[in-house]
């Protein structure tokens, strides 16, 4: 097993996750089996209870792990399926060590940061590296250390990395440091932030083997030489990572910068030709356009990262550029919806913005605008149909308060007290009804998709709802998983989150159907 450790300096949000995923893509294009681990220094056990408006999307893994959004980038870039083992947090580490101490595993030793916490971190990294990710056992494991070098929260993780560097042969572990290279008013790239960041890294006993400089424009050779001279890194290992208009272009730009040969030489890998099929897929030219309104309540685009990417994947596959219009669920006019080719209602929690989303669903249904509902969007589609078609004016969800609860809490959720990791999470098998739209999209009668919810369609009302014309086209045992309307109009909603399994090379079928319907609407078909 070989390891590539990715750290960051100067400031957070530089793009360590995209850098990590891009390096993995470069290696995968050369036939190497790759996996990835994200270290998050926060004390939470996972990302499940964190405010998405502050932290970004909660990405759900196949085993139900609720993880940082970077895990989603890893899966999309590398076409692999990860588990909760691949997201290491301070909370997980300390909880494990404390549980071992209470159990008496340390034989009376005084439990300390070194060696017990650092040993546990190394054990977690090794376990994740050796786990199969659907692509066979990996040959190379990428480890992204969240936060910024110098943060107190990251210290135990960086110490564990320092120990790994000393324990492994130098050709089996390398360190890639991502830093900010800002420009002054004259357009000159400034290297001082990078120099200081590397200095902090060295004080921790770590030395970068390669530096990725994040900047708005491509760095000159003279800037690279300056970084090389001051930071003790070979000039060819100073990689310019200028801002790209599309994240999927980052691996392409890193290829141009020579990242492949740098990694190959540092890890003593054999030289292999690159398969550029993935690059051709993500760089496909657009021949059509379509616009989609996403009716939101959080107001932060990163909350809907997987949805944005799934629309992009479907659009690339169909040569259709998708323009997203963000619509505030609490403050919009119907005229905003009349200007788009499709309406999408994403997941979410709590009563805020619910009526606005229901009104948007009604507008889509009555005006024959292609509609896609996801999780909460599925539940609200059922509520809207009950109110508008069956005449149940007080139809609502148990989550939202009093009324006719056509959406009820899952039976196994009734006595749940702890909120973290207790929802219906991860992969579930769904049986699809023959002759339905969703069967046509998937091309089969059984699929596996990921979930994240506590509420379901109330079984008590299903017969009446179906007799009124709403088709429940997907089921998992007694649970309703998708609904649609008959006819040519695209009206589809899913309890599951199809976006979590969408990748550039394997676009999600519901998104493909939705984007195709939006493009056809624009053409007037």
Indicate which residues carry an active-site annotation: 375, 497, 499
* CA distance to 62, 322, 461, 497, per residue, from 313 (Å): 20, 10, 36, 15
Phi, psi of 51 (to 5 degrees): -65, 115
Strands 446-453 and 424-432: antiparallel
The span from the CA of 421 to the CA of 494, in Å, is: 21
- Please state, in angstroms and rounded to a whole number, the distance separating the CA atoms of residues 242 and 216: 5
Between helices 69-78 and 305-317, what is the axis angle to 10°?
A: 20
Cα(73)–Cα(52) distance, integer angstroms: 17
Q: Are strands 320-328 and 288-296 parallel, antiparallel or unpaired?
A: parallel
Query: How far, in Å, CA of 463 to CA of 486, rounded?
Result: 17
Cα gap 4→27, rounded to integer Å? 11
**Residues forming a β-bridge with 326:** 294
Cβ partners under 8 Å of residue 24, min gap 6: 34, 36, 74, 77, 78, 140, 142
Q: What interhelical angle do 509-523 and 305-317 show, nearest 10?
A: 60
Strands (E), 181-333: 210-215, 238-242, 288-296, 320-328
Under 8 Å between Cβ of 64 and 79: no
Give the largest Cα separation in the chain, rounded.
75
74: Cβ contacts below 8 Å, ≥ 6 apart: 17, 20, 21, 24, 36, 38, 80, 82, 86, 142
Q: Provide the 8-state DSSP code for 218.
A: P
Q: Give the DSSP per-residue string, 157-171.
A: HHHHHHHHHHHS-GG
């Amino acid at each position: 097993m070989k390891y590539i450790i990715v750290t960051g300096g100067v400031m957070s949000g530089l793009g360590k996750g995209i850098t990590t995923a891009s390096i993995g893509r470069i290696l995968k294009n050369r036939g190497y089996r790759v996996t990835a681990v994200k270290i998050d220094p926060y004390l939470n056990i996972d990302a499940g209870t964190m405010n998405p408006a502050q932290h970004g999307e909660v990405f759900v893994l196949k085993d139900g792990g609720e993880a940082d959004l970077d895990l989603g980038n890893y899966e999309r870039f590398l076409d692999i399926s990860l588990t909760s083992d691949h997201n290491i947090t301070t909370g997980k580490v300390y909880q494990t060590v404390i549980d071992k101490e209470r159990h008496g595993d340390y034989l009376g030793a005084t439990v300390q940061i070194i060696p017990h916490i650092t040993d546990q971190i190394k054990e977690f990294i090794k376990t994740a590296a050796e786990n199969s990710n659907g692509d066979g056992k990996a040959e190379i494991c990428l480890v992204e250390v969240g936060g910024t070098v110098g943060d107190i929260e990251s210290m135990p993780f960086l110490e564990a990395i320092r120990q790994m560097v000393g324990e492994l042969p130098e050709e089996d572990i390398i360190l890639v440091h991502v830093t900010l290279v800002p420009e002054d008013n004259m357009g000159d790239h400034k290297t001082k932030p990078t120099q200081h960041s590397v200095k902090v890294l060295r004080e921790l006993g770590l030395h970068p083997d390669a530096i990725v400089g994040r900047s708005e424009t491509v760095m000159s050779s003279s800037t690279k030489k300056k970084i090389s001279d001051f930071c003790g890194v070979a000039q060819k290992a100073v990689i310019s990572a200028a801002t790209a208009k599309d994240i999927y272009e980052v691996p392409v730009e890193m290829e141009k910068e020579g990242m492949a040969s740098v990694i190959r030489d540092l890890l003593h890998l054999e030289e292999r030709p690159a398969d550029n099929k993935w690059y051709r897929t993500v760089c496909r030219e657009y021949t059509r356009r379509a616009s989609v309104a996403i009716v939101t309540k959080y107001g932060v685009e990163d909350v809907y990262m997987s949805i944005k990417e799934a629309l992009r994947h479907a659009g690339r596959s169909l040569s259709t550029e998708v323009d997203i219009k963000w619509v505030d669920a609490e403050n919009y006019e119907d005229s905003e919806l009349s200007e788009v080719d499709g309406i999408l209602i994403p997941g979410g929690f709590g009563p805020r913005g619910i009526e606005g989303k229901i009104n948007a669903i009604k507008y889509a249904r009555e005006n024959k605008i292609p509609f896609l509902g996801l999780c909460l969007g599925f539940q609200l589609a059922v509520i809207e149909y009950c109110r508008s078609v069956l005449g149940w004016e007080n139809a609502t969800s148990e989550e939202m308060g009093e009324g006719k609860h056509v959406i009820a809490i899952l039976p196994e959720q009734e006595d749940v007290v702890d909120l973290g990791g207790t929802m219906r999470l991860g992969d579930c098998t769904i049986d699809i009804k023959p002759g339905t739209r969703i069967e046509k999209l998937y091309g089969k009668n059984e699929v596996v998709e990921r979930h994240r919810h506590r509420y379901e369609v109330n079984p008590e009302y299903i017969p009446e709802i179906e007799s009124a014309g709403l088709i429940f086209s997907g089921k998992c045992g007694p649970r309703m998983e998708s609904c649609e309307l008959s006819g040519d109009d695209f009206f589809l909603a899913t309890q599951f989150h199809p976006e979590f399994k969408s990748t550039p090379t394997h676009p999600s079928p519901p998104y493909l159907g939705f984007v195709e319907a939006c493009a056809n609407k624009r053409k007037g078909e």
